[in-house]
Structure 1
Amino acid sequence: MSEYDGGMDYGHVEAGQEHESLDQLHQVNASESDYNNQFNVYEQDHAAAESTSFDQGRHVEFTGADGSHYEESNFTSYDHSAAESDHIFAAEGSESSHQAEFSQLDALRAQLNSAFSEATVIDTDTPPSIAAG
């Protein structure tokens, strides 16, 4: 209605309340598993062999015209043998394991309460003003 529709007074008033709620559920389930191993083996071999042989000899034989006979023998013999073997062995290692589980539950509940009031009033006792431009 406008003020030109018979000069009536128009009014509207409203008041009330609103109630709302919010429910939210958040759930997380997680697991983690790790495994690590590290092994090292060190090995070294060494072998040596030596062999020495030394021989020396001398043989003299003489037969004379008169029937005499002379014989001489000198002999030297030397043998040497050696063997050597070395072995080194080393090992090291590590092993680890990890396992974890995680669970989380979040619940949110919110209650929203609000009050409102609204009013619209038209007063027809005051004449409209028109601004001059």
Structure 2
Amino acid sequence: MGGLCTFGRNRQLYYAADALAWLPGEVETAERYSSQAVDAYTDQSHPEWAFGDAAGSQAAMAITRIANGELDGAADAIAPVLGLPTERRINGVVHSARRVHQALRQSGRADDARDLQEEIEMFTRTPIQTFPR
């Protein structure tokens, strides 16, 4: 088996970071896993590299930073995702960006991150060129 069924160390780090980012009291652990996951996905030549998982790792890091009150750090973490070209804005990547948006809303500091929220909203809109003709 391979492809989506492959569950190597990189994906384990990403999934752990993604799950822990939403659990109260697990922010420190989530931060550690998200940092490791982002680092693991920096090498695009690695056999386990996948742009969707790399983007998800960045989103998990952003969510963790929001939970820590680090809005600038969250913006830095999600910036590579928001810079992805249209053809890479697959459902999973868009969903990850929406989760960052949700975390901002739930943080009680949404007004302090209005620019970031708007960037995410622009990113998650479906461009017309992605629809079949």
- Normalized against structure 2, the TM-score is what? 0.17
**Higher RCO structure (Cα 8 Å, ≥6 apart):** 1
Higher strand share: 1
Larger Rg: 1
Higher helix share: 2
